[in-house]
Structure 1
Amino acid sequence: MPAPDEPTALPVTFRPVRTRVVLLTVGSVMLITFATVALAMPAPWAAADRATMIGTGLIIFAVLALLSRPKVVATRDGVTVVNLTTVRRLAWAEVLRVNLRAGDPWVYLDLADGTSLAAMGIQPGIARQQAVSDARRLRALADALGTGPADAA
């Protein structure tokens, strides 16, 4: 595989675009379907029944929208990891290593405090080649702007 383009223009956002498109499309279709069924219900159905159907469609859409939220934003100052319900801002010096091993569901960042952080914005599920490329670009940025692999010992 070719090396990542140098230098990478900042800021750069890594996001599983295909996964996001699929999730938001399915969520929209489900919401439209539930709303259509609610509005097409025969007269004996009460307004509460219709509201329940539309509410169910909204809940399904909200869950799928939440699942499409993850991203990783790299700037000159650091990296912001947006996962399902959390946002974590890291300085480049805090990121020691960027890992995407075979079988991993997403990238993991090894941090200076000895922990690792899942970066769900780069996930090889639907687009493996894109995820590998994005992980390499993020690794290059971490090496260039952070402590680098030599200091990660």
Structure 2
Amino acid sequence: MSDLPALPGLPVTFRPGHTRAILLTAAVAIFLTISGVALLLEGLGPGERMSFVVTGALIFWVLAQLARIKVVADESGVTVVNIASSRRLAWAEILQVNLRPGDPWVFLNLSDGTSLPALGIQPGIARQRAIADAKALRALAEAHSAVRPGEDQG
């Protein structure tokens, strides 16, 4: 096990920081622009102005949902928060952490035979950080799934 990277302290949160900053900045800018246009156009009634603001708020909400993705590891397991769902996994459920060349994000191979995408670690803008995060999550998964004293090692 000496070839494993140093384990990060728990709890640890993995998320694409640059992507999150870009999405949230764009969300604020779009909301303010659409709302500003609604206030500056003279021929609009109150209902039309409100529809502009609601549209800006809806776009803000969608971009904020995209920015909320993360993977949180703690002593008892991992929580994967993707765009529209969140799933809690015990360490024993995670068999493998994969980030192959060309993958858009990390995939977790699970004990039930399925694979769960973990969008919180993605090599888009910050490839080296994503690789380091994937290695850290892999090391945590391997450390927490190691054979415990008293378990069958056969």
Q: RMSD in angstroms over aligned alpha carbons? A: 1.4
* TM-score, normalisation: structure 2: 0.90
1:21-32 aligned at under 5 Å gives the runs 21-32=21-32
Shift of 1:126: 1.0
Task: Give the drift of 1:135.
Answer: 0.2
User: Where do 1:35-54 residues align within 5 Å?
Assistant: 35-42=35-42, 44-54=43-53
| SS, match of residue 81 in structure 1 | strand
Partner of 2:89: 90
CA deviation string 1:61-103 (max 9, x = no partner): 1110011111000001111101111111111110000000111
Which position in structure 1 is the counterpart of 2:151? none
Maintained 8 Å contact 1:108/1:118 = yes
In the alignment, what sits opposite 1:106?
Answer: 105
What TM-score do you get using the length of structure 1 for normalisation? 0.91
Size of the aligned set, in residue pairs, is: 145
Counterpart CA distance in 2 for 1:32 and 1:102 is: 38
CA shift for structure 1 position 7: 3.1
For structure 2, the 5+ residue unaligned runs are: 148-154
Amino acid in structure 2 at the alignment position of 1:64: L
Q: Deviations over 1:27-80 (max 9, x none)?
A: 0000000111111111x3111111111111111111100111110000011111
Q: Name the amino acid aligned to 1:74.
A: A
Contact 1:35 1:53 in 2 (8 A): yes
Distance of 2:90 and 2:23 partners within structure 1: 31
Deviation at 1:9, TM superposition (A): 0.5
CA contact (8 A) 1:16 1:123 kept: yes
SS in 2 for 1:97: strand
Distance 1:147 1:47 in 2: 63
Identity %: 54
Structure 1, unpaired ranges of 5+? 149-153
Structure 1 segments, 4+ long, off by >4 Å, are none
Amino acid in structure 2 at the alignment position of 1:103: G
Equivalent position of 1:62 in the other structure: 61
